[in-house]
Amino acid sequence: MITTFKITDQKAIKLAECSSIPRIMIIFGQNGVGKSTLLYAVKQSILQNVVRDEDVIFISLLGESPQKEYVGAAIHIDEPSYRITSVLGRLEIARRNIIAASSLLDNKSSSPADEYTSISHVYEPLNKLLNMLLPHLKFERVDMTETDSPKCIFSKYSQNKVDIDILSRGEIEVISQFLPLVEHQILRKLVRRSDARSYSDIAVLMDMPGLYLPPQLQSRLLGYFRSLVREEKENIQFIIVTSSSALTEKATAEELFMLMPSQQLAEGSNQLVKVSDATVRTLPL
């Protein structure tokens, strides 16, 4: 987990530091105050000063493709539907390889029906996301009939089975933006419980200036994050910068921080201020 950071002299940021970072940290403030700059600086600081293998997922809703970053590496694919199909296709191949390997090791003629390799178990993180944000959709399977051209099959309104190309652009964008996080969770599902020690921490950094989701779904998104940090064996943390009032109004005092303009503070003051319950709904965005 990221327990502390200190950012200095980065564009609009003169000094922003936090000595006790919660599992969910929501940072808001006026436009142009440096929220995105702060998040990017935190990401760079983590990657440069990492002391053990810690995954860093950076998700931007600014029109940029999300990237999953490791120390010294990044994944970046441009087309959202292709990105989703490519990632889920690789995960499905991994799932099938595990089943095949287990069958050989157990000297069985057919693949064992292990719970941890079942489709419902492996892809549960994706369906949890869909249930929160796109409840009319459910992921069904990856069709590997054509190995070089897998298809991602969804059910829509519990009836029609459709390929991902039939989904709307908005639906695809929502899945795509959170795909790096879902991929990480699915990979953890594919690790046997006996290998849980191999799990690494995960830091999810999210640049969400104004979510393109209905307010009620934005509120549910915060509940989704909270459910993830509560999960057993998950060691996950969210640092989110946003201008979404739907998120800030639902955040607790422990989760919420305001980034102040340096011009409004005395020289050398910390621009990152923890918000109290009494002021959460009165501070300007």
CA distance 181 to 55: 10
Does 71 fall in a domain?
no
Q: Given this model, what pLDDT does residue 209 score?
A: 63
Residue 265: Cβ-neighbour burial (10 angstroms; 0-12, 13-18, 19+): middle
Same domain, 178 and 238: no
Greater confidence (235 vs 268) lies with 268
206, part of any domain: yes
The boundaries of the domain holding residue 219 are 1-54+201-285
Query: What letters, b where the CB count within 10 A reaches 16 and e where it falls short, cover 3-32?
Result: eebebeebebbbbbebeebbbbbbbbbbee
> Is 60 a member of any domain?
no
Last-in-domain residue among 164, 199, 234: 199
Give the pLDDT band (50/70/90) at residue 151. Answer: very high
On whether both 255 and 239 belong to a single domain, the answer is: yes
Same domain, yes or no: 183 and 90: yes
Q: How many domains does the chain have?
A: 2
Regarding whether 215 and 165 lie in a shared domain, the answer is no
Task: Measure the CA–CA gap between 81 and 167, rounded to whole angstroms.
Answer: 9
93 occurs within a structural domain: yes
Distance separating alpha carbons of residues 261 and 240, to the nearest angstrom: 18
CA atoms within 13 A on the CB side of 13: 21
Residue 192 has pLDDT above 80, yes or no: no
Query: Average pLDDT of 224-237?
Result: 83
In a domain, 139, yes or no: yes
The pLDDT of 214-234, averaged and rounded, is 80
Q: Residue 205 and residue 25: Cα distance in Å, rounded?
A: 10
The residue among 199, 231, 260 that closes a domain is: 199
Shared domain for 192 and 101, answered yes or no, is: yes
DSSP string, 207-254: EESS-SS-HHHHHHHHHHHHHHHHSTT--EEEEEEE--HHHHTT--TT
Yes or no: say if 91 and 186 are a contact pair by the CB < 8 Å rule: yes
CA distances from 140 to 35, 38, 103, 115 (A): 38, 39, 24, 16
* DSSP string over 9-46: EETTEEEEEESS--SEEEEE--TTSSHHHHHHHHHHHH
Backbone angles phi, psi at 250, to 5 degrees: -95, -10
Residues 90 and 183 in one domain: yes
Query: What per-residue confidence (pLDDT) applies to 233?
Result: 63
Residues 173, 184 within the same domain: yes
Residue 70 lies inside a defined structural domain of this protein: no
Kind plus residue range of the DSSP H or E element containing 176: helix 169-177
What pLDDT is stored for residue 194 in this prediction? 45
Instruction: Based on the fold, state whether residues 229 and 284 are members of the same structural domain.
Output: yes
Let me know if residue 131 belongs to a domain. Answer: yes
User: What b-and-e string marks burial along 116-133, b requiring 16 or more CB atoms within 10 Å of the CB?
Assistant: ebeeeebbbbbbbbbebb
Q: Are 213 and 221 in contact (CB under 8 A)?
A: yes
Give the CA radius of gyration of the chain.
20
The pLDDT value given to residue 61: 67
The mean pLDDT value of the chain amounts to 82
Domain final residue pick, 156, 181, 199 = 199
Residues 83 and 193 in one domain: yes
Same domain, 191 and 223: no
For residue 58, CA distances in Å to 9, 38, 210, 223 come to 22, 13, 16, 20
Q: Are residues 49 and 99 located together in one domain of the fold?
A: no
CB 59 within 8 A of CB 66: yes
Same domain, 193 and 81: yes
Q: 250-280 pLDDT, tens per residue? A: 899 999 999 999 999 999 999 999 987 445 4
Q: Which residue has the tokens 């897998």?
A: 150
Question: Which of 56-65, 123-132, 159-168, 270-279 comes out lowest in average pLDDT?
Answer: 56-65
Least confident window among 38-52, 53-67, 116-130, 140-154: 53-67
Confidence check: pLDDT of 48 > 90: no
Q: What size, in residues, is the chain?
A: 285
Per the domain annotation, does 19 fall within a domain? Answer: yes
